Every structure is written in structure tokens, then in C-alpha cells.
């Protein structure tokens, strides 16, 4: 993940993505599958809306006193025997973790999927310090081998098809080519098992942190999260401060919502609740547990107009339904978090100067708001950011003039009707002059406009 | 819900998550089920600590103390949740929760009176003093990371059998 100050090239990336047939096929298949699975998973649940209301209220409650909950969590986790670290920004988080590992002479690190670790660009830093960092989630394992970043927060290698993975494994692991996901999965199991058993440390993220007990909670399907947190002698968990829930007793509603929203499963194969390191008499758990609480701009977001984005529980449902994400894929956004929640976080965490192009990556259709399990007001948040973008002078002069003109035309029934007629009249010319690029992407104007049919 | 209904509900949901499900009564019933589920002569890890485990530990010709070297782990677990069809594996009482993770086949025995109806029932029972590790296990290890196509047995067991006794 690049953290330079150069502006994100959302537009250029999107144009490239539109020309990538393999990517578009993969994204289409994924979008269709996700839609069906999510709907099927929620179908048997009674009172889904009440469930979303409760979860939303719990997240609101946390944001009302986030510093208080973080304090309570830190105290509870310390009481349970964990060492708690506070990292103000990405640099601090990287340094804290590198120091914990190097002080104990850790050389081989196995890692579970953690978007927060991507946010702080942890792997590159640890590798530069001479450590071997092995991603163990299958999707992460694939993209690490390819030298890519995740393109989805739940399914990191969603942009790749089975033939690409088969070829990659054959080339890099020297195994016979196969494009059967079951065979490819077994290859990864075999390659990674030895890494787990010989690792000096495990690094994980966390989906939730319970303030009353100091527990961290991880949702996983593959079992790598359980390996990372129980097999090596040292476990380092990194999580951003807004992952708090007030009490472990609040977890059930999130177990009901998160996997259904994320992958369309009633529950993930594994939900692990980890409270402190191994204690006398225990036969489970790392001997040492370090929890790194990352702020990296959250406190600032909390004080501002976009605070509701901190309710997000990172299920990825909003990206799965987003017409922009589904068309251009996650890499086009250019930073750690893609899709509707992602573009909001990107703008807030990396600054408008760098991120203003991704603020445009939404049609404001509201499909994301429909599916968000904790009722994050995604569309209003995106509109706020667009207003800020204009206020701070990041919209181009052409865009401003065009919008001013459109405003005038749309406000006058006469001009609007005239515009529609002109568009239909000149379409054949535009189509010929513009060539395949325009004709392929722009829909032809209707001969009889909808408003005339409707009236 | 009565104990019998709860057991049926739990097994139904566990089966939906692709676990093998079995319901037995008494020591003979349990031993019979284990003999059917666990292939003879494979290395088996069985802690042999609880009454239920002691009743079956003698059945295995190649019993291993180390779970990492075993093909099958046979153990009694802390409990189960009917709502989700989940096993509740806990570190309480010096249990190695990862013993059910490393071998490719996990056989978990649940006592009928240890089944919670809902997730809320489980968490209100454990939330005041949670063990070091509490893991809900629902079906075998799985992934859909390649083209969202389900593949079973990534890092955890590819086969999960649950027995209610």
C-alpha cells in the first residue's frame, strides 16, 4: 500500500479496469453470487430490522464515549494478562510491533487477515527489518505471492480467477497445474502447515473488542486465525479503536449479522473469543499476548461531521452491492479500503488532497444503505465529503461550470426538454465521432423521454 | 424447549453446516458410534480426561498424546449452541482447544444437558468470566477465496463429526 502524497488515480485505474475482461468477468460473477447468498442467509431470520436496530444502537452507544470504552477495554485486557499498546498513527504501530518481535528474536511470523495491518503497511516494514512474514488466509496468501494488495476486505483475491491462481501456484510452488479450488486449497494447506508449526509469532486483527472483559473476537472460516492465535508462543493483535463493543454479552447480535452480511453464512466456521494469554493451568493460547490499539485519525473523525462511519463493522456488504465497485473492482480505489465505506474512510484517513478523486466513486443509488447491517448513513456521508471537496477547491473548473450549467437546465422544464431533444437528435453524430469508446459506454438517449411517457 | 428438542435442533443446524451428526444414549451407544466414525488403526488423540472420554479412550489402537501427530481428535467439548449448530470449545480446565483444529478429522462429543438454546444463553453464562479461549466451531474448515467456490479443509479439519450423548 502506497502512502505517498500523490493523488489517487481513481479515474485512470477505472478506465484500465474497464478494459480488463478477466477482471470484469470475475467481478460480475462475485456480485451475483454475493447477492444471492446474502439474501438466502437473511431469509429465515425473523425480525431482521429489529436486529439491525439493536446492533446500530450498540455501535452508537460506543461512539458516544469511545475514549471511555477504549480505556475500559485496555484496563480489562491488562487485567486478563495482555500487554496493551496505544499507537497514535501508522508509524507508531509499525514501530511498536517491530520492537515487540525483534526484542524476542522473532524471525518467522504467521499472519491472519487484518485490514488494519494493511492500513499501516505492516508487512513491508517487518520484511525490511529482516523478518519472514507469511500471510495465511488463502486469499491473502495468493495476493502476497503475486505481490498485490487486497481488492476486497473479506475476499482479498476476488479479482483473480481459478486459472490465474492455478498458474501462480504452479510457477511459484512447483506443483502440477490445477484449476480446481479444492486441489489448490489442499496445496496451500500443505505449504502453510509447516509455517504455523515453526513460527515464532502470530499476528492477527480483530473483528470486535469487548470493553468489559478485555476479550478480542475473531471471525474466520479457514482456521488460520485460530492457528495464528494459539500455536506460536507470541501473539500480537492489531485493531483500530472503533472495534469496541461495551460487553461480551453484546456479541450475539453481531454474530447473527456479520457473517450473513459478509459472506451469506449464518455463522462463520469459527468464532474465537480470546481473553488474555495462556494462564497457569491453561493448555491453550499464546504465552504472551500484545494488543496494539490503533488510532490513526479515528479520534479526529469522531470529533467531526463524518463520525458515523466509525459504526462500520467491515462486513463488505456495501461494496458487494455498489454498482461502481462491481464494475471497476477494489484496486481502482487505490488505497486499503474500497467500495462505499472504503471511499469514505480513504478520504478521511488520507486527506482530501490525496483522495478527492475517489469521493466521486459513487452513483448515490443507496444500495449500500439498504444492506448496511448497522445502518451507517453511507450516502449522506458521501454527499458531505463531496461538499467538502468543492469547498476545499478540489473540483476542477470544467466540472464547476458544467454543474452550474446543468443546474440551470434542470431547473427549467423548457430547457430540460430542449436538452433531451438535442441529445436524441445529435446522438448519431456523437456516436460516430466518439467511436467505440463513447458508444460502448454511454446508453443511447430514448427517442421519447420518460417524462413525456409519464405525463 | 425440552432437552430432546434442543438436541434435535442443534443437530439439524450442525448438519446444515456440513457436520456429520450422531445421537446416542449410554456408554455402549457412544462406543458404537465412535467405532463407526473413527477408522481403525489411524493415530487418534483423545485426552481421556472426562468421564465420557474415559469411556472411549480404550477403543483406539494407536492413541497419541500429541494432537499435532494425530489424524483424528476425539474429545468431549464444553457445550453446544442449538441456534447456530455450533460446538463450544473452551480452554477451561486445561483443555487444548487447538487439539480439535490441527488433525484433519475432529470428533466432538457433547452432553445433552450442555446444549445452550441461543447465543445469548451461552454468552450470558460465560461473559462475566470468560476462559482464555472460547471458540464456536460450526462445520468443517472452509474457504471461498477462489472464485467464491466452496472448498473444505483449509487449515482446520476437513471432517467434523458431532455426537450428542
pLDDT tens, residue by residue, A269-317: 999 999 999 999 999 999 999 999 999 999 999 999 999 999 999 999 9
Shared fold status for A1-44+312-395 and A71-296: no
Closest residue to B91, CB basis, from A266, A270, A283: A283
A401-455 confidence digits (pLDDT tens): 888 999 999 999 999 989 888 888 888 888 888 776 676 677 788 878 777 776 5
**Domain range spanning residue B131?**
3-164
Query: A43-51 contacts: CB < 8 A, separation 24 or more?
Result: A45/A256, A45/A260, A51/A253, A51/A256, A51/A257
CATH code at position B154? 3.40.50.10420
Looking at the complex, report in whole angstroms how far the Cα of residue A150 sits from the nearest Cα belonging to chain B: 12
State the CB neighbour count (10 A cutoff) for residue A383: 14
Partner A contacted by B104 (CB < 8 A): no
Pick among A41, A259, A284, A285 to test the B interface (most B CBs inside 10 A): A284
Geometric angle at alpha carbon A126, from A120 and A130, rounded to 5°? 165
Site from A76, A110, A138, A185 to mutate, B interface, most B CB atoms within 10 angstroms: A185
Chain A contact for B61 (CB, 8 A cutoff): no
Asked if the A1-44+312-395 domain carries CATH number 1.10.1740, the reply is no
| Cβ contact A199:A232 at 8 Å | yes
Query: What is the per-residue DSSP string for A293-317?
Result: EE-TTHHHHHHSTTGGGGG-----H
Q: Count Cβ atoms below 10 Å from residue A197 Cβ, excluding itself.
A: 13
- Closest by CA to A250, choosing from A293, A292, A207, is A207
Mean pLDDT of successive 10-residue stretches along chain B, which has 165 residues: 88 97 96 96 96 96 94 98 98 96 97 97 95 98 92 94 98
pLDDT in tens, A160-210: 999 999 999 999 999 999 999 999 999 999 999 999 999 999 999 999 999
ipTM of the complex: 0.97
Domain A71-296 is found in CATH 3.40.50.10420 = yes
Question: Is A222's CB within 8 Å of B142's CB?
Answer: yes
The answer to whether the pTM exceeds 0.90 is yes
Strands (E), A348-396: none
Per DSSP, the three-state class of B72 is strand
CA-closest candidate to residue B98, choices A218, A208, A272, A236: A272
Residues A178 and A38 sit within 8 Å (Cβ to Cβ): no
The reply to whether residue B17 touches residue A30, judged by beta carbons under 8 angstroms, is no
**Which residues does B150 contact at the CB level (< 8 Å), separation at least 6?**
A181, B142, B143, B144
Q: Are A8 and A334 in contact (CB under 8 A)?
A: yes
Task: Give me the sheet containing A288-294, strands edge to edge.
Answer: A83-87, A288-294, A234-240, A201-204, A108-111, A132-135
How many domains are there within chain B?
A: 1
Amino acid at each position: 500500500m502506497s502512502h505517498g502524497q500523490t493523488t489517487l488515480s481513481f479515474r485512470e485505474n477505472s478506465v484500465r479496469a474497464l478494459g480488463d475482461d478477466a477482471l470484469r468477468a470475475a467481478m460480475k460473477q462475485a456480485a451475483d453470487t454475493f447477492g444471492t447468498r446474502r439474501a438466502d442467509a437473511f431469509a429465515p431470520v425473523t425480525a431482521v430490522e429489529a436486529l439491525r436496530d439493536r446492533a446500530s444502537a450498540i455501535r452508537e452507544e460506543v461512539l458516544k464515549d469511545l475514549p471511555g470504552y477504549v480505556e475500559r477495554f485496555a484496563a480489562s485486557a491488562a487485567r486478563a494478562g495482555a500487554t496493551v499498546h496505544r499507537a497514535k498513527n501508522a508509524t507508531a504501530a509499525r514501530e511498536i510491533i517491530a520492537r515487540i518481535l525483534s526484542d524476542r528474536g522473532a524471525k518467522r511470523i504467521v499472519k491472519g487477515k487484518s485490514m488494519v495491518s494493511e492500513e499501516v503497511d505492516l508487512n513491508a516494514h517487518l520484511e525490511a527489518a529482516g523478518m519472514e512474514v507469511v500471510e495465511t488466509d488463502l486469499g491473502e496468501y495468493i495476493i502476497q505471492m503475486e505481490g498485490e494488495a487486497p481488492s476486497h476486505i473479506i475476499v482479498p483475491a476476488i479479482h483473480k480467477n481459478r486459472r490465474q491462481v492455478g498458474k501462480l501456484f504452479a510457477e511459484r510452488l512447483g506443483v502440477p497445474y490445477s484449476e480446481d479450488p479444492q486441489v489448490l486449497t489442499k496445496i496451500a494447506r500443505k505449504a502453510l502447515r509447516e509455517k504455523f508449526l515453526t513460527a515464532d509469532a502470530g499476528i492477527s486483527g480483530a473483528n470486535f473488542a469487548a470493553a468489559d472483559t478485555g476479550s478480542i473476537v475473531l471471525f474466520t472460516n479457514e482456521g488460520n486465525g485460530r492457528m495464528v492465535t494459539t500455536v506460536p508462543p507470541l501473539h500480537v493483535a492489531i485493531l483500530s479503536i472503533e472495534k469496541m463493543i461495551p460487553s461480551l454479552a453484546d456479541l450475539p447480535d453481531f454474530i447473527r449479522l456479520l457473517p450473513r452480511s459478509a459472506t451469506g453464512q449464518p455463522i462463520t466456521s469459527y468464532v474465537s473469543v480470546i481473553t488474555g494469554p495462556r494462564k497457569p493451568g491453561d493448555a491453550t493460547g499464546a504465552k504472551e499476548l500484545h494488543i496494539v490499539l490503533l488510532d490513526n485519525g479515528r479520534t479526529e473523525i469522531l470529533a467531526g461531521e463524518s463520525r458515523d462511519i466509525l459504526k462500520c463493522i467491515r462486513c463488505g456488504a456495501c461494496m458487494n452491492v455498489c454498482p461502481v465497485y462491481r464494475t471497476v473492482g477494489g484496486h481502482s480505489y487505490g488505497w486499503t479500503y474500497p467500495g462505499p465505506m472504503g471511499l469514505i474512510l480513504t478520504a478521511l484517513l488520507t486527506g482530501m488532497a490525496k483522495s478527492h478523486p475517489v469521493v466521486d466513486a459513487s452513483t448515490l443509488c443507496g444500495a449500500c444503505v439498504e444492506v448496511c447491517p448497522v445502518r451507517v448513513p453511507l450516502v449522506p456521508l458521501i454527499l458531505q465529503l463531496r461538499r467538502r471537496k468543492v469547498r476545499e477547491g478540489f473540483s476542477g473548473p470544467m466540472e464547476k461550470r458544467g454543474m452550474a450549467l446543468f443546474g440551470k437546465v434542470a431547473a427549467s422544464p423548457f430547457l430540460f426538454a430542449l436538452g433531451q431533444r438535442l441529445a436524441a437528435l445529435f446522438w448519431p453524430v456523437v456516436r460516430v465521432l466518439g467511436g467505440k469508446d463513447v458508444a460502448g459506454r454511454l446508453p443511447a438517449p430514448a427517442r421519447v423521454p420518460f417524462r413525456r411517457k409519464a405525463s | 424447549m425440552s432437552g430432546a428438542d434442543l438436541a434435535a435442533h442443534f443437530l439439524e443446524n450442525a448438519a446444515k453446516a456440513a457436520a456429520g451428526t450422531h445421537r446416542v444414549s449410554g456408554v455402549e451407544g457412544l462406543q458404537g458410534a465412535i467405532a463407526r466414525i473413527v477408522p481403525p488403526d489411524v493415530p487418534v488423540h483423545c485426552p481421556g480426561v472426562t468421564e465420557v472420554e474415559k469411556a472411549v479412550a480404550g477403543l483406539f489402537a494407536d492413541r497419541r498424546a500429541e494432537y499435532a501427530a494425530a489424524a483424528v481428535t476425539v474429545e468431549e467439548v464444553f457445550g453446544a449452541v442449538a441456534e447456530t449448530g455450533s460446538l463450544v470449545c473452551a480452554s477451561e480446565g486445561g483443555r487444548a482447544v487447538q487439539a480439535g483444529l490441527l488433525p484433519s478429522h475432529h470428533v466432538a462429543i457433547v452432553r445433552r444437558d450442555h446444549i445452550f438454546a441461543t447465543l445469548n444463553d451461552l454468552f450470558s453464562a460465560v461473559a462475566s468470566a470468560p476462559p482464555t479461549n472460547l471458540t464456536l466451531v460450526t462445520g468443517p474448515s472452509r474457504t471461498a477465496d477462489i472464485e467464491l467456490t466452496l472448498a473444505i479443509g483449509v487449515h482446520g479439519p476437513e471432517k467434523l463429526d458431532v455426537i450428542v450423548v
